[in-house]
């Protein structure tokens, strides 16, 4: 399949890496950069000076800092900005979007206050949720950019839209599977980042393999309860968007959520980590929004509670650990029906 012009909104690691996936299937790929200097650097050197600078971008990729230029005549749109900026960015982009252009959301998270998942947030701003899809899975942008074998799930309420984006990004090295469980895929994408922070803290405190495995699997059960309460299919949590993404986010050296957790255990603050690395820790934002959702739906989410209290309530590491280890164990998969 070949389309005309794909607009990629956001020049972070995922936005940049996604160009390599869609460029072989598009006549033109236009990256929207918030900063003019980034757009100029991409157009001059065919590399992103801020993210994945070693990646040589395909020849049919160019950049602009103008939303109207990026979105004008676009046949497809990919959203890849941090979750905290999705509403503002899409509000500015809306006047330049046609009413039926399909939109693929790479951002994972949940809006604080409204509880909207990212695809619903996009639809809330630009309308027509049936044209929106979300991609999730065990994919670090660094490895996708290097062409290493990866897999993801694309979820949409419209099977045609999911299949369309499958065709747009699939390759021998990038396997894309379709799903109609948009809620489950997105709940997994938001909540797994919180568990990854907890995993990083555990590793930073010297925890062993047994502890990390227990934390990940209990985190998966927490994700399943949250998904079920929100109307998603708990089985989705056993797939690429759930277990797959949880494994890579909790164990990989590329994971900013895990590495932030390790740094936090050593005494570094969130603000210091984000300033030092130049990257947004999505799990920190999710620790607020997922915590709000869990309490609103009356879902037990002890790992989310612990991370939230550490980051925003001044809890000590000892208090957070005690809150998890003094709980009375339930049956293993309670709360998923």
Q: Hey, what's the torsion of the CAs at 4, 13, 113, 308, to 10 degrees?
A: 160
Q: Write out the H or E segment, with its range, that includes residue 259.
A: helix 256-265
Euclidean distance between CA atoms 111 and 123, whole angstroms: 13
Taking alpha carbons only, the member of 130, 171, 110 closest to residue 296 is 110
Residue with tokens 């879902």: 299
- Report yes or no: 83 and 285 within 8 Å, Cβ to Cβ: yes
Q: Which two tokens stand for residue 202?
A: 């555990």
**Dihedral angle at the C-alpha atoms of 284, 289, 294, 297, nearest 10 degrees?**
180
Query: Alpha-carbon distance 155 to 52, whole Å?
Result: 27
5 is catalytic: no
The values of phi and psi at residue 3, to 5°, are -110, 175
d(CA 146, CA 54): 10
> Which residue among 5, 108, 148, 192 is the active-site one?
192
Tell me the two tokens of residue 109.
Answer: 């998270």
Residues 6+ apart with CB under 8 A from 288: 112, 308, 312
Q: Active-site residue numbers?
A: 192
């Amino acid at each position: 399949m070949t389309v005309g012009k794909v607009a990629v909104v956001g020049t972070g690691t995922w936005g940049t890496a996604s160009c390599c996936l869609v460029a072989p299937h598009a006549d033109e790929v236009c990256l929207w950069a918030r900063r003019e200097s980034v757009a100029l650097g991409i157009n001059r050197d065919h590399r992103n000076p801020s993210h994945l600078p070693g990646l040589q971008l395909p020849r049919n990729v160019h950049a602009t800092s103008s939303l109207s230029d990026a979105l004008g005549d676009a046949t497809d749109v990919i959203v890849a900005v941090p979750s905290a900026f999705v509403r503002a960015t899409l509000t500015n982009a809306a006047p330049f979007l046609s009413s039926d252009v399909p939109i693929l959301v790479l951002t994972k998270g949940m809006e604080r206050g409204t509880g909207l998942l990212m695809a619903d947030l996009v639809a809330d701003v630009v309308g027509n949720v049936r044209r929106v899809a979300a991609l999730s899975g065990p994919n670090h942008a660094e490895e996708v950019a290097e062409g290493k074998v990866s897999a993801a799930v694309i979820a949409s309420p419209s099977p045609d839209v999911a299949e369309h984006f499958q065709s747009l990004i699939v390759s021998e090295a990038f396997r894309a599977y379709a799903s109609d469980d948009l809620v489950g895929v997105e709940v997994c994408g938001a909540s797994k980042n919180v568990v990854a922070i907890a995993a990083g803290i555990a590793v930073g405190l010297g925890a062993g393999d047994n502890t990390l495995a227990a934390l990940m699997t209990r985190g998966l059960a927490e994700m399943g309860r949250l998904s079920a309460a929100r109307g998603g299919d708990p089985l989705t949590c056993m797939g690429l968007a759930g277990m797959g993404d949880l494994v890579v986010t909790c164990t990989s050296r590329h994971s900013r959520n895990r590495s932030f957790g390790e740094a936090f255990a050593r005494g570094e603050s969130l603000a210091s980590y984000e300033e030092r690395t130049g990257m947004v820790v999505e799990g920190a934002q999710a620790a607020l929004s997922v915590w709000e959702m869990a309490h609103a739906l009356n879902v037990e989410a002890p790992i989310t509670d612990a991370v939230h209290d550490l980051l925003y309530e001044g809890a000590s590491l000892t208090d957070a650990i005690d809150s998890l280890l003094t709980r009375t164990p339930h049956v293993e998969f309670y709360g998923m029906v």
